[in-house]
Amino acid sequence: MGKTNYKPMKEEVISEPEEYLGFGQKKKYFVLDGKKIKYLASGKKYNFSDPEEKVRAEYYFDLIEKYNYPAMRIDFEIEMPSRTPQFYADIVIYEDDEKKKPYIVVECKKDGITDAEFEQAAKQAIGNARVLKAPFAICVAGNTRRAMETEKWNDKTPEKSIITDIPISYGKIEAFRYKKGDPNWDLKVLEKQELIRALKKSHDTLWAGGKRNPTVAFDELSKIIFVKIRDEKKGRKNGEYYDFQIKTHEPAESVYKRINNIYEEAREKDPEIFKENLKVEPEELYTVVEHLQGLSLNKTDLDTKGVAFEQFMEDFFKGKNGQYFTPREIVNFAIKMMDIKNDDLVLDPACGSGGFLLHSLDKIRNDAKEYFENDEAEKYRYWHDFAQNNLFGIEINDSIARVAKMNMIIHDDGHTNVIGFDALEDIDKMNRKNPGFAKNRFDIIVTNPPFGANVKASEHPYLEKFFFGKNGKKTRANQKTEILFIERCVDFLKPRVGQMAIVLPDGILTNSSLQYVRDYLMEKTQILAVVSLPQFAFTHFGAGVKSSLVFVRKKADNERLGKPSNSAGRYPIFMAIAEHIGYDATGRKDPKNDLNKICEEFKKFKSKNKLN
């Protein structure tokens, strides 16, 4: 494997609502006193600003509420006898009121630690349990948890000691833990940062410190998430166990077989999403399942999922893969300017990770909330039909196309009309792959096409079929991708009504040698608006070309613009310069954002000039 400059994603610490804190204080399990937390049954007090303390407090709450252990039998910071240097068990649950017989030893770590750190912590939990002669140990690192039987643990085959979870109230060890409809053991609905951390941990497991290319790791994670969502959506009765979890004493090969079976079934039913086998080792898959098994991707609120996945992918797509990701501030602006309706057919022919499509869907979802405030069924139908039938995407990179499809599935579908294909190929070929792709068909195109690459006639015979592929009657040796994308997008738009928002390098708008491109645009379309973006708009994602957003409407055949009193073809065009766009050159948030004001002014301009 070649050397890579990729680094694991940084964790952004954002405080979020923690329900257990309110309930725990109300039930007098603990109290918060400034920066300290006091556990009332033991009288012990610790620093609550410590991330590990927050994990301990939440797990302590669960031990009482979900596992039914009495608070008077739970203690903290228990010193290990005869160990040098000194070791302390974070939590010990005892079998007796006198706290003489240790039962479970708990090691708490902050959420987001590395796999190596988690393995070390798990060994520490077992070591402490052996010293205290406790039959069970568990390592808790946020939502990643591993419970073990002390006497069955050994360094060579530690999985033989792993159980699905600690016993409930001194009871028996169960085969599985997570089951549908159970108030305590159904899958957990996530907060945004919990979901981001779960994704980050899972991706870092698969990246394996550089063993895999980060894009390949992302692809494998997409497959596993696909299985996870499919398992959650599987028809099962309340009380039935989920398949996406680790069984007591289950080896990694068995977990792999069960997860892979779900994956293969899904591939048969939807072969366009994943054409390749699951390419992870059983031990890697086992660890990712540990990270994700107790979490619900399906039930987590769509807005939470949207922001979390976007933030996760933004970090992933910086630099090398930046061409596949457009910053959300620019995407949001383009969607607002286009004013998409739920009966519009929307296309992004260079969809990358799917940002423009997802924000189009978000716009329609927000409309549904407004139009059908008290009718959940009608609200769902309004935006879900749009997702299924009106969103179309093309992405030349198969791996990134899968990311886009997964992104759509995570947001409750709309993936069926995203295809892995070269958008510059003959449209008839696309039509045979998916009949939804046709000339003169789309109401809206929103896109950020690839810049700077050359399409060579020697490699792509389709070049000669483009107007921009010829110079007079002679076929050009090559042509820039962004120029060909302009023509292809115009091909896709409906005459008279079809509108497009496209990111273009400023050279197309200013270079004298590219006048022929501007002439084509003026002939085929009405230029509605040009919004100049700052030089740094895409630098954080590996591209430094000065660009603008151009908004056009495709003219009907033989349509002429301008009033008879004007010179032929003259009409008003909205022009604006954005200096602040919500983030700076380093990617940090900027409280100033000119794009919001520009959008307001454009709406006034449209109204004044009677533009549809």
Q: Could you tell me if 71 and 29 are in contact, meaning their C-beta atoms sit under 8 angstroms apart?
A: yes
pLDDT tens per residue, range 573-582: 999 999 999 9
How do residues 448-495 score in pLDDT, each as one tens digit?
998 888 999 999 999 999 999 998 889 999 999 999 999 999 999 999
The fourth-level CATH superfamily of domain 302-608 is: Vaccinia Virus protein VP39 (3.40.50.150)
Segment 432-440 mean pLDDT: 94
- Tell whether the torsion through CA atoms of 310, 316, 319 and 321 is positive or negative: negative
pLDDT at 141 over 90: yes
pLDDT tens per residue across span 61-106:
999 999 999 999 999 999 988 766 678 999 999 999 999 999 999 9
| pTM of the model as a whole | 0.80
User: Strands across the sheet with 36-39, in order?
Assistant: 30-33, 36-39, 44-47
| pLDDT the model gives residue 562 | 65
Q: How confident is the model at residue 322 (pLDDT cuts 50, 70, 90)?
A: low
> 275: exposed, middle or buried (C-beta count within 10 Å: 0-12, 13-18, 19+)?
exposed
pLDDT of residue 612: 67
The architecture (CATH level 2) of 19-174 comes to Alpha-Beta Complex (3.90)
114 band by pLDDT with thresholds 50, 70 and 90: very high
Report residue 56's pLDDT band, with 50, 70 and 90 as the boundaries.
Answer: very high
Q: Specify the range with the lowest mean pLDDT, choosing from 246-250, 340-344, 512-516, 566-570.
A: 566-570
Consecutive H or E run containing 394: strand 391-395
Q: What is the pLDDT of residue 8?
A: 46
**Closest to 215 in 3D by CA, of 433, 70, 482, 401:** 401
Q: pLDDT tens across 271-281, in order? A: 777 778 899 99
Q: Give the model's pLDDT for residue 323.
A: 64
Instruction: Print burial letters for 113-139: b (CB count within 10 Å at least 16), e (below 16).
Output: bebeebeebbbbbbbbbebbebbbbbb
d(CA 323, CA 540): 11
For residue 581, what are the β-bridge partners? 593
Q: 14 pLDDT exceeds 80?
A: no
Residues 6+ apart with CB under 8 A from 414: 357, 361, 386, 387, 388, 391, 408
- What's the pLDDT at 459? 93
Number of continuous H segments (helices) and E segments (strands) in the chain: 17, 25
Query: pLDDT over 90 for what percent of the chain?
Result: 66
Tens digits of residue pLDDT in 404-422: 888 888 877 778 899 999 9
With a CB cutoff of 8 Å and minimum separation 6, the contacts of 97 are 72, 73
Q: What's the mean pLDDT when you consider all of the chain?
A: 89
How confident is the model over 119-148, as a mean pLDDT? Answer: 95
Whether the CB-CB separation of 42 and 64 falls below 8 Å is answered with no
Residues 128, 105 contacting (CB under 8 angstroms): yes
pLDDT value, residue 7: 47
Pick 219 or 94 by higher pLDDT.
94
pLDDT band at 374 (very low <50, low <70, confident <90, very high): confident
Lowest mean pLDDT among 159-168, 257-266, 293-302: 293-302
Task: Note the pLDDT of residue 544.
Answer: 76
* Residue 606: count of CB within 10 angstroms of its CB: 16
220 pLDDT higher than 70: yes
Q: In the sheet where 162-163 sits, what is the strand order?
A: 74-79, 88-94, 102-109, 136-141, 144-149, 162-163
pLDDT at 391 over 90: yes
- What pLDDT, on the 0 to 100 scale, is given for residue 547? 93
- The domain limits of the chain are 19-174, 189-296, 302-608
Beta-ladder partners of 31: 38
Residue 558 burial (CB < 10 Å; 0-12/13-18/19+)? exposed
What does the pLDDT read at residue 319? 57
For residue 570, the model assigns a pLDDT of 82
Contacts for 120 with CB less than 8 Å, ≥ 6 apart: none
- Contact by Cβ (8 Å): 78, 97: no
pLDDT digits (tens, 9 = 90+) for 223-250: 899 899 889 988 899 999 999 999 999 9
Q: How far apart are CA 182 and CA 601, in angstroms?
A: 52
Handedness of CA 437, 443, 446, 452 (dihedral sign): positive
Specify the DSSP class assigned to residue 10: P
Mean pLDDT to the nearest integer, 370-386:
90
For residue 1, the model assigns a pLDDT of 31
